[in-house]
Amino acid sequence: MLRDRTALAGAVAFAFISAGGLGAGLVALKPILENIMTPGGRPLPEIVSEFNQNKIVDGRVPQGLIDALPTDPFQGVVLLIVGLGLLTVIGGAANFLHVYLSLTVVQRTVTRMRRDLFHKVVRLPLKDVVVEGPSDTISRIVNDTVAVGGGLSALVSKALAQVTKGIAGFVAALVLDWRLTLVSLVVAPLLYTVIRKLGKKIRRASRAALEQQSGLYAATSEALQGLRVVKVHTTERYEAGRFHRINKEAMRQALKVRTARALASPLVEVLTIFVLGGLSLIAIKAIIDGELDQAGFIAVLGALGAAGASMKPLTGLSNDIQQASAAAERVMSLMNAAPEPGHDPELERLGRHESTIEFKDVRFSYPNALRPALDGVTLRIEHGETIAVVGPNGCGKTTLLALVPRLFEPQEGVIEIDGRDIVSVSVRSLRRQIGVVTQETVLFRGTIRSNIAYGAENATEARILDAAKRARADDFITKLPKGYETSVGEQGLTLSGGQRQRLAIARAILRDPAILILDEATSMIDADSEAKIADAVAEFSAGRTCLIVAHRLSTVVNADRIVVMDAGKIVDVGRHDELLDRCEVYQLIARKQLVPA
């Protein structure tokens, strides 16, 4: 909001202008009533002179202006009504500009908030996103920012307008009769206590409701993304029941908010009525005793009524703000999360890899894991080597490869590239020379061309076509109706698994990486396509360091070295024949896991 100071200042100024018109109109109510309630009417100059004598307006009405006022009572009323009409027009225009500028500030703020949150999230450590789950993060970016926007709107647009009008009404009441006005303040502490206590309940319940909404996102996303699995396992009823339970809990939390919100307004109204009733009794006694004129009482009551009417919506608006504060807390906790290390602009750039990659006594554990994913891994890889990593499921193969581009940070140990600790260099300079193809191919909504060129700088048409051909993807792309301009749809589900995998390999080739990481990269490709891809990878990996998690025997046999892992440790390193002779773990893997070519 502070970035839109001019618009915000304008909104505040127009709110006061609008309220000023209301206050002036309320003050003008007394002379109109006196004119009407006095037999034959009272001339306007006489009423204004009395105002000056009683210092109700601090004697600030110039005598020349008083003399210029019409002496006919009816003409005086007409003048006041015309003046009120002009004030109404001015107030309406000011109110429009106030709301216009306020909502402009709110929408710009929410838009920046969503942008900054997304900017923050894509720079969070991968481990944090994995632990919390993407659905909760998405809910904060989408749902919570909307809730914060509602609170900002209630504060800047609605509450500000009501407060300024309430102040104007209260000031008008003070001008008309300060004694009665001060008596009405008895209700203020009670109203503050009620609104404050209910606000706390609303904030707590709103936070719980928002957390349940993120659970709804997670359940919906999981079920729809895995809809094929849901259908073939006939678990539609189970998923519907799971969604219903989360949805019901979200409703329970929302109903807590409902109860507090529903209770606030009646309590405030009851307290206000009691105070106004007591105030009326005091005023009536003063009228009977001749200490207060009827017109003055009615004018004060009207001014206080206007102030009360303006303040009444503040109960609901306060609840809106409290509800938004719960969302703001969740947004701020995300904004204040520690960013991914390695983005400090002062860090040195890593030169293109040309020597070694070394793991030195590396240890890594996932949160809440029973045992470490990597437990004291030490390994030296020479530039240009092709290393195949094999082992039982859960032995740490994928985790080991994920540490090279710093997707995760080891809790202990050091990883060096060309003798430099990768923690000491810019993470962008590290990742720009790494190409990664995983078992779960990720494609983005867009065209085939944009997906191949994703993340590649200076991706010319010739380079894109060359990468597609080398990945053996050009054949199927050119057969599509729109060729490289074909839309792949969300998650690339319009393509087969093998086609998606080839596009991912083409994307990696286009980056021209010094280090190529293939994590089960050919697992979704048929044998014929896998042989072609293997040739392409073998051709492309020449002169590059290639790290492979493989399940096909041909890939393992052709590797320069094979790293055998078990329970987070490296148990042996060697060639295929050597390991078959001496390593029991590898013998078991070769018999049961490695797929013949």
Q: What are phi and psi of 568, to 5 degrees?
A: 80, 5
Highest mean pLDDT among 41-55, 459-473, 580-594: 459-473
Q: Classify strands 420-421 and 412-417 as parallel, antiparallel or unpaired.
A: antiparallel
Residue 334 vs residue 228, higher pLDDT: 334
- Judging by beta carbons within 10 Å of its beta carbon (0-12, 13-18, 19+), is residue 224 exposed, middle or buried? exposed
297 in Cβ contact with 287 (< 8 Å): yes
Task: Report the candidate in 16, 584, 14, 29 with the shortest Cα–Cα distance to residue 302.
Answer: 29
For residues 257-273, give the mean pLDDT.
65
**Between 119 and 4, residue with greater pLDDT:** 119
What is the DSSP-derived secondary structure letter of residue 485? G
Q: How confident is the model at residue 285 (pLDDT cuts 50, 70, 90)?
A: low
**Collapsing DSSP states into helix, strand and coil, what is residue 559?**
coil
What is the mean predicted confidence (pLDDT) over 102-122? 83
For residues 217 and 248, the model is more confident at 248
How far is the C-alpha of 115 from the C-alpha of 118, rounded, in Å?
Answer: 5
* CA distances (Å), origin 1, targets 121, 211, 313, 330: 21, 26, 23, 18
Homologous superfamily of the 387-395+431-592 domain (CATH): P-loop containing nucleotide triphosphate hydrolases (3.40.50.300)
Residues 278, 148: Cα–Cα separation, whole Å: 40
Out of 35-44, 161-170, 258-267, 402-411, least confident range: 35-44
Tell me the C-alpha distance between 96 and 90, whole Å.
Answer: 10
Burial class (CB in 10 A: 0-12, 13-18, 19+), 458: exposed
Q: Residue 380: phi, psi to the nearest 5?
A: -120, 130
| pLDDT score of 97 | 82
* pLDDT at 358 > cutoff 80: yes
Output 511 or 57, whichever has higher pLDDT: 511
Supply 370's token pair: 């029973």
Q: What is the pLDDT of residues 411-436, one digit of tens each?
A: 999 999 998 999 999 988 898 888 88
Specify whether the CB–CB gap between 355 and 418 falls below 8 A. Answer: yes
Q: Which residues of 526-553 are buried (b: 16+ CB within 10 A; e: fewer)?
A: eeebbbebbebbeebbeebbbbbbbebe
297: pLDDT strictly greater than 70: no
Nearest-10 crossing angle of helices 5-37, 44-53: 110
- For the beta carbon of residue 185, count every other beta carbon within 10 angstroms: 10
Question: Burial level of 475, CB count in 10 A (0-12/13-18/19+)?
Answer: exposed
Please state the φ and ψ torsions of residue 381, each to the nearest 5 degrees: -120, 130
Amino acid at 144: D
Q: Is the pLDDT of residue 57 over 60?
A: no
Encode pLDDT of 306-346 as tens digits.
566 555 555 555 666 666 777 777 888 888 888 888 888 88
Contacts of 379 by beta carbon, 8 Å cutoff, 6+ apart: 358, 359, 563, 570, 573
- 224 membership: H or E segment, kind and range: helix 187-225
Tokens of 320: 């809106």
The structure tokens 């307006």 sit at: 57
Per-residue model confidence (pLDDT) at position 527: 61
| Cβ atoms of 173 and 167 closer than 8 Å | no
pTM above 0.85, yes or no: no
78-87, 197-206, 411-420, 543-552: range with highest mean pLDDT? 411-420
Q: Which of 127, 219, 214, 208 has the alpha carbon at shortest distance from 409? A: 127
Element (H, E) at 414: strand 412-417
Number of neighbours of residue 525 by Cβ within 10 angstroms: 23
Strand intervals (E) in 441-560: 515-519, 545-549
Q: How far apart are CA 497 and CA 529, in angstroms?
A: 11
Give me the mean pLDDT over the 464-482 stretch. Answer: 86
> What was the pLDDT predicted at 361?
93
* HSE, side-chain direction, 13 A CA sphere, residue 388: 24
Distances (CA, A) of 470 to 508, 532, 533: 11, 10, 8
In the chain, where are the structural domains located? 2-335, 387-395+431-592
Cβ contact 349:403 at 8 Å: no
Residue 433 has φ and ψ, to the nearest 5°, of: -110, 20
Mean pLDDT, residues 265-282: 66
2-335 is classed CATH 3.40.50.880: no
Could you give phi then psi for residue 270, rounded to 5 degrees? Answer: -60, -45
Q: What value does the mean pLDDT of the chain take?
A: 75
